[in-house]
Amino acid sequence: MGAQKTLERVISKAGLGSRTQARSWIHAKRVRVNGQVVENPDHWIDFDRDRVEFDGKPLRIREKVYLLVNKPTGYITTFKDPEGRPTVYDLIGAVETFVSPVGRLDLDTSGLLIMTNDTQLAERLTNPDHHVAKTYVVECGGVIPEESIRLLRNGVELNDGPTRPAAVKRLGGSGASTTLEIVLTEGRNRQVRRMIEAVGSKVVALTRTQIGSIAIGQLAPGEWRPLTPVELDRLRRERS
């Protein structure tokens, strides 16, 4: 696990549960460090030297888990929601090891979500320096003219700066809507929606279909499966 981390992060990264759960367990006196109960979640731990126990048993780092989830609209990607909305964790209840989403999809966005307890892979896929492509299919209100598509390809100005050039393809449309495929190599908050708004339209529906070379394929909304060893190898090498 390397270097020093707070006790709550050590428990979460070991795959036992979320950081919120870890804090509650620590406050409940269920965690010992070197034989002593520690009630401070921010207590610093060197996992290579300190002995951590949970409910009297040594804390062990669980094996790495990699899931591909097809998130439906109406689900959020946090562990729990104060408003009681469904979360992606409701979909993967059979998975015993705690995993985190790699990046986020907002409530009204569906599609491919990778979930893992491998923080190194997660950082690689989300760090914009690695230029890992994310592919979206977006249905926009009204007709999107070619000039707007050209702007999207070259980069549009947002309130947090201009976007990187994007690959944009027109997939179809009618007078009421236009369907585009947009491939990004960065992942700002609500970026696709803001890009479409910047060219004078609105997103009607948004689905992420691919991360790097990994596609959602035939996985139905609400379903999940483990990533295959071949897919994992491709993800670890991914770079645009």
Question: What DSSP designation does 76 have?
Answer: B
Task: Identify which of 109, 139, 107 has the alpha carbon closest to the alpha carbon of residue 203.
Answer: 139
> Quick one: angle between helices 146-154 and 191-198, nearest 10?
130
Alpha-carbon span 70 to 207, nearest angstrom: 10
- φ, ψ at 132 (rounded to 5°): -75, 125
214 half-sphere exposure, CB direction, 13 A CA radius: 28
Rg of the Cα atoms in the chain: 21
Say if strands 109-116 and 203-211 run parallel, antiparallel, or are unpaired.
Answer: parallel
Structure tokens at 173: 């449309």
Please state, as a whole number, how many other Cβ atoms lie within 10 Å of the Cβ of residue 39.
12
Single-letter residue type at 1? M
Strand, coil or helix: what is 74?
A: coil
The residues carrying an active-site annotation are 106
The helix (H) or strand (E) run that includes residue 96 is none
Left (φ > 0), alpha (ψ -120 to 50) or beta: where does 190 sit?
Answer: left
